Structure 1
Amino acid sequence: MNVARRFAEIDDLVPAADSLREIRHHIHHHPELAYEEVATAALVAEKLEAWGWQVTRGVGTTGVVGTMKLGEGTRSIGIRADMDALPIVEQTGLPYASGTHGKMHACGHDGHTTMLLGAAQHLAATRRFSGTVHLYFQPAEETGIDSGAQKMIDDGLFERFPCDAVFGLHNHPGAEPGKLLFRKGAFMAAGDKAIINIEGTGGHAARPHLAVDPIVIAASIVMALQTIVARNVDPSQPAVVTVGSMHSGIANNVIPATAKLELSVRSFSPAVRALLKQRITELAEGQAASYGGKASVEYIEGYPVVVNSDAETEFAIEVARELVGDDKVVAHTDLLMGSEDFAFMLQKRPGTFLRIGNGVGEDGCMVHNPHYDFNDFNLPVGAAFWTRLVERFLE
C-alpha cells in the first residue's frame, strides 16, 4: 500500500474539480471548429506555461505541445487531447452553453482537453516522475479527412517531441461515468467518405416523361446501397454504409438536373474497405444508368483503423485497476464503428486509445447531438488517470 500511495489517486485531484469545471465550461462556451482553435490553444498554452511547462505553439497549425523533463530518466511518454468543436446548434439550455451560434462542443473535446490540463497541473506540482512528458493538444479531430493528428505528425511531432508510447482517451456515452474501457488490437473502425454526384435531365414536374429525374435515381441508389453490407460483405466482418446527406432541387414543380449524396463508410478489414468502395461505385453507376442518368463517385479514404498495442494497453489497464478498481474497468470492450484520427499516431508509436463512461440512459446523450454535454464527474477521474499513468510509466 505504501508503494501504491506514491502515485496519484482520484482524491488527490478532487480539490481541483471546481477549477477544472470552470475551465471546461469556459471552453464549452467558446467552441472553435477545426483549425480555428486559436483561443482554445492560447488558453491551453497559458495554463501550461503558468504551471512550468515548456510550451510549443502552432504545431500542425493550431496544435500545442507541453513538455516537462525531470530527473535522469530516459523514457518518454506522449498523451493526446483533442480541442475542436462541431458545426452544430446547441440545444442544451445550459448556463455555459455555446455562445457562438452553429458551433458546439458536442463530442466532449472540451472535457478531454480539461482532463489533460488537470493532469498537467498536478504533475507539475507533485513532480513524481523521472523522464520526459509530452502533452499533445491536437486540432481538427472532427474533420474525418484533413486530420489534425496527421497535420501534427507531418509537422514533425514525433521527431520534435519523441515518445516511447502514446496514449489518448475519448468519453463514452452508454457506460457509467468514471468507468474505463479498453481493447487490445483493432478497436475503432476506418472511416471513409463517398460523394455521389448524379446527373439527370431537368424538366417540368407535370411532364416527367420529358426529363430524367435525379431524385428518383438518388432514392434508388440509397436503397440499393443498403444491400452492400447485407449481401456483399461477409456477415462476420463489421461494416457500415450510411447516407448522411441528400440534396437536390429547390421547387416542388421543377424536376432538377442534378442530385448529390454524401456517405460515411466504416470498416475494419482492408479487404472489406476495398469491397465497399468497389460496390458503392458499381451500384451508383448502375442504378443511374438504369434510369437514363449518370453517376460519378468521389471516394475519399479518411481515418485508418485504431489499433492498440498489446503491451501498452495491458499497462494502461493495470494503472486503471489500481486507480478505480476492477469493477470500474472493462479490459475487453466491444468494437466501435466510430473512427478516430488518433489512429495515425498509433501507426507511428505503440500505445492505446481508451474510453471513459459519460453516462447511461437519459444521462448518456450520444455525442454529435445538440443536447449532449460532457460529464464533469469525469474531470478529476481522467486527470488522475493521466497523472498516474505518467508516474507509473516514468517510475
Structure 2
Amino acid sequence: MNNWKNLRLIWGIVLLGLGLSIISYATAMTLIDTHGPIVAYTVAEKLGIGQIWEKELKVGEYITIVDERTNEVLDKISRQVYRGDKIITEDNREYEVINVKGNRAMARKLGMAKGVVWKPEWDEYATLPVARGEMATQGNGKAQIGIYYTHSDESYVPTDGSESIPGRGGVMKVGTALAEELRKKGVSVVNDKTSHEPHDSTAYHRSRRTAVELLKKRPIALIDVHRDGVPDPDFYNDKIDGEDVTKLRLVVGRQNPNMATNLEFAKKVKAYVDRAKPGLIKEIFIGHGNYNQDLGPKAMLIEVGTHTNSRFFAENGAALFAEALPRVLNLQAAQKAPGGITNPLSDTRPESRSAWTTLAWILGIVLVGAAAFLFISTGSVKGVKSKLGEITKTEFANYLGDGKTEEAANQDGTKDLKDKQKR
C-alpha cells in the first residue's frame, strides 16, 4: 500500500514539473508575441547598442550608389548603406550593393525585379463610397490605416524655415495630407502625431510604442512618414498630372521576420503607382534595419522628398500616393466585411502558434491538476515533504540500482534485531 502511495507521489512530482514547464512555455510564447520585440529594443538601448538597428546620416550627408559596370548614379540616400542592401529603381531594375567605401557604394545588377506587376483586378477598381458617419469607425476603436512619425521633427527648409522643428515638424503636415486624401476616398485613418525626439536611431524604439498603440485600432497597414536628407532638391522634384510634386522612396528593412511580406506589399504599391502616377515612386530601398516592420506584413516607411524641397510639393506627392493604398489593400472589400475590418495588421501572428499556445495552457493545467490529485491522494499535502525525503532515500535506490547500499543494509539489520528484542 505504501509503495502504491509512493508511486503516486512520484508521478505527482513528475506531472507537476511537466505541467509547470508547459505553462511557463505558454506564458513565454504569449509574452514574446506581445512584448518580445519591445523587450529586445529596450535591452539594446540599455546596453548602449540601440544604434545597431537603424543608422542614419546627418542632414546634408548622403551616399551615392552607382552601377559597378556603367558608373550610372542609381541613388542618393541620407542613410547608412551596407553590403547586401538592395534597390529597385524607378524603372524596376534590381541591384544589390556589393561594396561601400566612404560616401560611395557600388551595386551589381540582378535583373528586372520580380513582383512589380499590375494586377488585372485593379482595372475594375472604383473609389470607395464615402457614407455619412463612416469616419466614426475610428471612435469604435478600428482603423484601416495607421500613420505615425518616427522622426517627428523632420521639416522642409524652403517652407518651414528649418530642417528640424522638434515635435511639430513639417513632415507631419505631409502625413496629414496623405491622411486627408485617404479619408476623401472613404478610408478610415488614425494619424498619430506623437513626438519621438531626439532625432536619432533609437527614435525607432520610442516610436515603436506609438506603433503598438496604433495596432490596438486593428489597422490593415502602418505607414511611418519621413523625408530624406539629400541636399539636391531636383533629385526629388517632379511634375505629375500638371502638379509640382516630390517623388517618394519606399523603405523596407532587411532585419525583420516580415521582410518578404513587407517587400511584397511595397512592390504591389509601386506597381499600382507606376501605372496610375508614373514616376511618383523613385525606388524601393531594401536596407539594413528593422524600422518596426516586424510588427506586421504591411508596415511601410516612406520618404517624401528631402529637406530642401518645398513642403507643399511633398504634400502634393503624398496626396497622389494615397490613390494606391485603397486598391492595393483591397479596402473596398474590407469595408463590406463584418466589423468593417479584415486581415488586421495586429492579427499577423501565425494561427498555428496561437493554437499551440492554447493547447499548451490546457495541457499544463490538466497536468498540474493531476499532480494535485496525486499529492492529496497520498494522505495529506502536509506529509508530502517528509514522504519525499523518505522516497529519495529508499524508493529511488530501488528503481535505479541493485537495492540498498551495504551500510544501509547493516543499519536496517540492526534495527530489525532491536525490534525483535523489544518484542
Is TM more than 0.5 here? no
Whose helix fraction is larger, Structure 1's or Structure 2's? 2
Q: TM-score, normalised by structure 2?
A: 0.35
- Give the number of the structure whose alpha-carbon radius of gyration is greater: 2
Higher RCO by CA contacts (8 Å cutoff, separation 6 or greater) = 1
Whose strand fraction is larger, Structure 1's or Structure 2's? 1
